[in-house]
Amino acid sequence: MSKNLIKELREQTGAGMMEIKGALTEAGGDKTKAVEILRKKGTLKAGKKADRVANEGLVEAYIHPGSRVGVLVEINCETDFVARTDDFKHLAKELALHIAAANPLYVSTADVPVEVVDKEKEIYKEQIKGKPEDMVNKILEGKLAKYFEEACLMEQPFAKNPDIKVKDLIGEAVAKMGEKVVVKRFARFVLGN
């Protein structure tokens, strides 16, 4: 393991030296696999932080060139110190840009009203009429998952890197900053709508 590789991974992930060495050992020196291992561990760390209170943060604004689309997004963290860091501000900018591009309707699946979910199920059941009963539930689950991926910010593929979801991007930020990070709400404005 070279010191340069460890340093590079530390800058990229924000993980501790021992975590990086462990991930590189587990990955057999493969940088990509080590990052994946660290991401998985970062997600676990994010889960431990889930019950903490995030009442600091900032509101980020983004106006698309041409001034026809604008976004306001409120992102919270645990401390004012983290809210003022360049990493946190960068995350807020990335999320505002993503919201402008991807047009989510809700922050997460928990925010989707029950009546909307019921209406979607009704539509999908109509579409899959005549399918074998044992397949209906699987097809219904798949169609709902696809709906959530399109409508919910956290489930959407990140605009700048479709290989990860927005919730993974936030999970990486949690691992790097060491604090709970929450997208509280957003508003997307389109001229004429």
Q: What are the chain's domains?
A: 3-48 (1.10.8.10), 56-108+152-190 (3.30.479.20), 113-150 (no CATH)
Report how far residue 90's alpha carbon sits from residue 84's, in angstroms, rounded to the nearest whole number.
Answer: 10
| 158/175 Cα distance (integer angstroms) | 18
- Whole-number Å distance between alpha carbons of 37 and 20: 9
Of 29 and 83, the one with more pLDDT: 83
Q: What are phi and psi of 42, to 5 degrees?
A: -65, -40
Confidence label for 128 from pLDDT (cuts 50, 70 and 90): confident
CB neighbours of 105 closer than 8 A, spacing ≥ 6?
Answer: 112, 151, 152
Cα distances (angstroms) measured from residue 17 to each of 3, 7, 76: 10, 8, 27
22 pLDDT tier (thresholds 50, 70, 90)? confident
Percentage of the residues of the chain whose pLDDT score is greater than 70: 88
Say how far apart CA 141 and CA 106 lie, in whole Å.
Answer: 19
**Range from 46-50, 148-152, 171-175, 189-193 carrying the lowest mean pLDDT:** 46-50
pLDDT digit string, tens, across residues 64-75: 999 999 999 999
Least confident interval from 41-55, 105-119, 127-141, 178-192: 41-55
102 sits in which H/E element: helix 86-102
Closest C-alpha among 12, 77, 1, 56 to residue 38:
12
Q: What pTM does this model have?
A: 0.69
- In this prediction, residue 86 has a pLDDT band, given cuts at 50, 70 and 90, of very high
Query: Which carries the bigger pLDDT value, residue 64 or residue 55?
Result: 64
Residue 96, pLDDT > 90, answer: yes
**Continuous segment of H or E residues that includes residue 58:** strand 56-63
DSSP secondary structure, 109-161, as one string? GGGS-HHHHHHHHHHHHHHTTTS-HHHHHHHHHHHHHHHHHHHBGGGSEETTE
Determine the number of helices (DSSP H) and then strands (DSSP E) in the chain: 8, 5
pLDDT tier, 13 (very low <50, low <70, confident <90, very high otherwise) = low
Angle subtended by helix axes 166-177 and 86-102, to nearest 10 = 180
Mean per-residue pLDDT, 110-131 = 87
The reported pLDDT for the residue numbered 44 is: 44
